[in-house]
Copies of this chain bind each other. A is one copy, B any other.
Amino acid sequence: MDIIKEHKLSIDTPLKLKSGKTLNSYDLVYETYGQLNDNKDNAVLICHALSGNHHVAGYHEGDNKPGWWDNMIGSGKPINTNKLFVVCVNNIGGCHGSTGPASINTETGSNYGFDFPVVTVHDWVNSQKVLMDNLGINKWQFVVGGSLGGMQAFQWALDYPDYIDNAIIIAAAPKLTAQNIAFNEVARQAIMNDPDWCGGNYLKEDKMPKRGLALARMLGHITYLSDKSMADKFGRDLKQEKIGFNFNVEFQIESYLRYQGEKFVNSFDANTYLLMTKALDYYDPVSDSEFIDKISSTMTKFLLISFTSDWRFPPSRSEEIVKTLISHNKSVSYACVKSDGGHDAFLMKNDNYFDVMRTYIENN
């Protein structure tokens, strides 16, 4: 059992954001696993998704649950830390140590709250490049991410083609659809309609929009699972012996969702949730006026993976990226993995999925 410590890098060089605003200084909290070799060519960047963070594998002192992708990353695992040096950073705007809405703005002495600037996938990649330079890494052998993390891996290949050999993009999409944006908007309205959100400045008011954030999480959760996985796990099972004809919890699925919502609000910041959904909404690299130049010049090799039951970013969305890459003569491998796990399948152990990852990584 590996005990992992987190590190903090404090940066005073301003970060110019895509919105036009600037973060004058910021902290990046990150973890590493394995050893950087002497040639400094075995580094892997893991990019996290909406509710993820830098604690991707191993155990913190005293924890009995490992990081969120511990099945994928470690000694002998597909992302094998016996050979690779793995880095994962909490994205700015986050709520697990890197500078975000709940952090103190040193220029005002109080927390940013809703004044924290809107951040994008592009901004995250830029801040990850700053960390890369600080760690003395010359090139990522792999940049890997699922969902919103996959968008960051894609963006690395576009923005820093000389610093990345392979992008592994899992359960992602080249941009959100109207339906995707719609679900995000309902989640945002749930948070912003909660009176305890206080116009985004709930920390100053010593409040927390728990009901709104729980609702957003419940909704998100439904879209991460497949209809079949929910049916298999919960079906129409009742919580009590028989139907009560009232508005208490009747079905197990209701109980599960409420539990997921309540658990989430104790470990996540509502304003971070808002920012993450916005980063998703805005991501659309193909619409960038420099896209053709960027995609033409990158030598990055790509592995795309999708899951059959993922209806948030179904296989057709990964295939849009695949087609775009092929049309620009890029090197692309693609696997659509059979799974009932829905969008969350990218976090789950699955022999075919892990074999694809292992084989690609060992050969690239």
Contacts of A231 in B (CB 8 A): 177-179
Given contacts A118-B246, A243-B282, contact A253 B188 (CB under 8 A): no
Report whether A189 and B177 are in contact in the complex, using a CB–CB cutoff of 8 Å: no
- Most chain B CB within a 10 A radius of its CB, from A175, A185, A282: A185
Report whether B215 and A189 are in contact in the complex, using a CB–CB cutoff of 8 Å: yes
Please tell me if A35 contacts chain B, counting CB pairs below 8 Å.
Answer: no
CB distance from A211 to the nearest CB of B (A): 4
Report whether A177 and B227 are in contact in the complex, using a CB–CB cutoff of 8 Å: yes
Report whether B190 and A253 are in contact in the complex, using a CB–CB cutoff of 8 Å: no
- Contact bitstring A209-237, B, C-beta under 8 A = 1, else 0: 00110110011001001010011011110
Give the secondary structure class of A's interface. helix
CB distance from A162 to the nearest CB of B (A): 28
Please tell me if A20 contacts chain B, counting CB pairs below 8 Å.
Answer: yes
Report whether A222 and B181 are in contact in the complex, using a CB–CB cutoff of 8 Å: no
Contacts of A211 in B (CB 8 A): 189, 193
CB distance from A183 to the nearest CB of B (A): 6
Given contacts A193-B215, A236-B176, A247-B188, contact A181 B254 (CB under 8 A): yes
Report whether A254 and B19 are in contact in the complex, using a CB–CB cutoff of 8 Å: no
Report whether B250 and A281 are in contact in the complex, using a CB–CB cutoff of 8 Å: yes
Given contacts A211-B193, A236-B284, A253-B185, contact A179 B245 (CB under 8 A): no
Given contacts A215-B190, A230-B179, contact A257 B185 (CB under 8 A): yes
Report whether A230 and B18 are in contact in the complex, using a CB–CB cutoff of 8 Å: no
In the docked arrangement, what's the CA distance between A253 and B185, Å?
A: 9
- Contact bitstring A240-275, B, C-beta under 8 A = 1, else 0: 000101110011011001100100000000000010
In the docked arrangement, what's the CA distance between A214 and B175, Å?
A: 27
Please tell me if A135 contacts chain B, counting CB pairs below 8 Å.
Answer: no
Report whether B253 and A178 are in contact in the complex, using a CB–CB cutoff of 8 Å: yes
Please tell me if A9 contacts chain B, counting CB pairs below 8 Å.
Answer: no
- Most chain B CB within a 10 A radius of its CB, from A177, A188, A222, A245: A245
In the docked arrangement, what's the CA distance between A227 and B311, Å?
A: 10
Report whether B236 and A178 are in contact in the complex, using a CB–CB cutoff of 8 Å: yes
In the docked arrangement, what's the CA distance between A359 and B339, Å?
A: 42
Given contacts A195-B195, A218-B189, contact A118 B245 (CB under 8 A): yes
**Residue A182 contacts which of B176, B183, B246, B253 (CB distance < 8 angstroms)?**
B253
Please tell me if A192 contacts chain B, counting CB pairs below 8 Å.
Answer: yes
In the docked arrangement, what's the CA distance between A261 and B181, Å?
A: 16
Please tell me if A278 contacts chain B, counting CB pairs below 8 Å.
Answer: yes
Besides the known contacts A21-B245, A179-B227, 16 further A-B residue pairs in the complex with CB atoms under 8 A apart: A18-B245, A19-B245, A118-B245, A177-B235, A178-B231, A179-B230, A179-B231, A181-B253, A182-B230, A183-B222, A185-B251, A185-B254, A186-B219, A193-B211, A243-B282, A311-B311
A–B pairs, 9, beta carbons within 8 Å: A18-B245, A175-B236, A176-B236, A178-B236, A178-B253, A182-B254, A182-B257, A185-B258, A193-B215
Report which A residues bind B (CB closer than 8 A). Answer: 18-21, 117-118, 175-179, 181-183, 185-186, 188-190, 192-195, 211-212, 214-215, 218-219, 222, 225, 227, 230-231, 233-236, 243, 245-247, 250-251, 253-254, 257-258, 261, 274, 278, 281-282, 284, 311
List 5 A-B pairs, minimum CB-CB distance, nearest first.
Answer: A19-B245, A178-B230, A193-B211, A178-B234, A118-B245
